[in-house]
């Protein structure tokens, strides 16, 4: 890089001297463009040459953070460069997504996007980026249900009991989420709409913060990602009431679905990797291939499947198609039910 800078500085000086010699201008310009293009091609050909950063748009400790760290560890081995996880929580993932949207499209800054990416453009009228234009899809990683959980000491044993309690005391029951516009938030809104009940939504800046208050008794319910709540269910600190998928989850075979009580209920979480738009196609292909190799690792498979997720990696276009379908589905639900971020 230093060599290229010195070379371009020298050429710039020569160009200024030669301004009075028209027959040499074209030659100098050709040299400058040739050096620039050659360097750009070399940078792509040798990618990656340095560490990458993977933005997790939530606070440490939640399901997205855990997924990012598992994915980052795998990519580090495959790519031969360290993948650093940076947590950038806030505004329902908008802060982290915006950071990536404004980053150089060189393949060194990526984001682990979630459900919120598919709904923020509907829920928030003024995003700092165009969600359809600012990002280049790399790969869908995994999909899975959310899980309605309560602390072990809670009196609630079923969705039916929660609905009955909410009907008896409208607005008294609280449910936490990892932020406005997240799957937990919208899952709670759908629970209210289909159950014809009133709950109070308490948004946090990440799942770990929401879970801390759930365990402490500050909030009553949480509809978290499988990855975020599984360890606490396994340790006996939380009780799983129901999963949000239309059908029972293989990872939670003993747990019923919300839909069994409220027909039509269906919420799915997902994780996908994006780069800034303009990232060279060859770099996108390199990252996609690295992700495909990472998800084949037995340790990664075990971690993901134990948490109720299904690995679903394909071509970059498959992520885009899936997210566009989610956007259309949730836009209809959000507008019909007049759901707004708080």
Please write the tens of the pLDDT for every residue from 109-123.
999 999 999 999 998
Q: For residue 11, count CB atoms less than 10 angstroms from its CB and return exposed for 0-12, middle for 13-18, buried for 19 or more.
A: middle
**pLDDT tens, residue by residue, 12-28:** 454 444 444 455 455 54
Q: How far apart are CA 182 and CA 224, in angstroms?
A: 10
Using DSSP bridges, classify how beta strands 109-114 and 221-225 pair: parallel, antiparallel or unpaired.
unpaired
The stretch 56-70 carries a mean pLDDT of 91
Question: How many Cβ atoms from other residues are within 10 Å of residue 322's Cβ?
Answer: 18
Q: State the average pLDDT for the chain.
A: 87
Question: Considering the entire predicted model, what is its pTM?
Answer: 0.77
Domains and CATH numbers, the chain: 53-144+269-336 (3.40.190.150), 145-260 (3.40.190.10)
Q: How far apart are CA 88 and CA 57, in angstroms?
A: 5
Position 31 pLDDT exceeds 70: no
Per-position DSSP letters for 15-81, written without gaps between them: HHHGGG-HHHHHHHHHHHHHHHHHHHHHHHHT---S-EEEEESS-TTSHHHHHHHHHHHHHHHHHSS
The predicted pLDDT at position 234 comes to 92
Residues whose CB is less than 8 angstroms from the CB of residue 46 and which lie 6 or more positions away in sequence, other chains included = none
Helix ranges (H only) for the chain are 2-17, 22-45, 63-79, 94-101, 115-123, 159-168, 183-195, 207-215, 226-234, 281-294, 298-306, 316-336
Q: 81, 107 in Cβ contact below 8 A? A: no
User: Out of 147-156, 269-278, 300-309, which region has the weakest mean confidence (pLDDT)?
Assistant: 300-309
Q: Residue 110 phi/psi, 5° resolution? A: -125, 165
**pLDDT tens, residue by residue, 81-134:** 999 999 999 888 999 999 999 999 999 999 999 999 999 999 887 899 999 999
Percent residues over pLDDT 70 in the chain: 86
Two structure tokens written together for 135: 């990002």
The stretch 226-230 carries a mean pLDDT of 85
**pLDDT tens, residue by residue, 182-222:** 889 999 999 999 999 999 999 998 888 999 999 999 999 99
Q: For residue 317, count CB atoms less than 10 angstroms from its CB and return exposed for 0-12, middle for 13-18, buried for 19 or more.
A: exposed
**pLDDT tens, residue by residue, 273-288:** 999 999 999 999 999 9
Q: How far apart are CA 137 and CA 274, in angstroms?
A: 5
Residue 255 φ/ψ region, left for φ over 0, alpha for ψ in the -120 to 50 degree band, beta for the rest? beta
């Amino acid at each position: 890089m230093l060599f290229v800078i010195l070379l371009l500085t020298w050429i710039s000086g020569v160009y200024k001297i030669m301004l009075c010699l028209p027959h040499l201008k074209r030659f100098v310009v050709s040299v400058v463009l040739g050096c620039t293009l050659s360097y750009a091609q070399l940078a792509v050909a040798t990618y990656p040459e340095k560490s990458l950063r993977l933005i997790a748009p939530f606070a440490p400790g939640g399901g997205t953070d855990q997924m990012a760290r598992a994915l980052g560890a795998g990519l580090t081995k495959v790519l031969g460069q360290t993948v650093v996880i940076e947590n950038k929580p806030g505004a329902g993932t908008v802060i982290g997504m915006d950071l990536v949207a404004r980053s150089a499209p060189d393949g060194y800054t990526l984001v682990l996007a979630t459900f919120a990416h598919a709904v923020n453009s509907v829920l928030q009228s003024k995003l700092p980026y165009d969600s359809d234009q600012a990002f280049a899809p790399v790969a869908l990683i995994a999909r899975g249900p959310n899980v309605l959980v309560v602390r072990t000491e809670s009196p609630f044993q079923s969705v039916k009991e929660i609905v009955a309690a909410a009907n008896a005391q409208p607005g008294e029951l609280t449910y936490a989420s990892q932020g406005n516009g997240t799957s937990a938030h919208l899952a709670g809104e759908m629970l209210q709409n289909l159950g014809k009940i009133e709950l109070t939504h308490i948004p946090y800046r990440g799942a770990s913060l929401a879970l801390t208050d759930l365990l402490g008794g500050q909030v009553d319910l949480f509809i978290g990602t499988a990855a975020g709540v599984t360890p606490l269910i396994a340790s006996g600190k939380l009780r799983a009431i129901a999963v949000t998928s239309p059908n029972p989850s293989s990872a939670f075979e003993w747990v019923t679905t919300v839909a069994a009580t409220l027909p039509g209920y269906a919420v799915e979480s997902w994780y996908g990797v994006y780069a800034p738009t303009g990232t060279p196609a060859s770099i996108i292909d390199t990252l996609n291939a690295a992700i495909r190799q990472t998800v084949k690792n037995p340790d990664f498979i075990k971690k993901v499947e134990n948490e109720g997720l299904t690995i679903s990696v394909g071509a970059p276009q498959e992520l885009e198609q899936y997210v566009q379908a989610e956007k259309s589905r949730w836009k209809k639900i959000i507008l019909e039910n007049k759901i707004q971020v708080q």
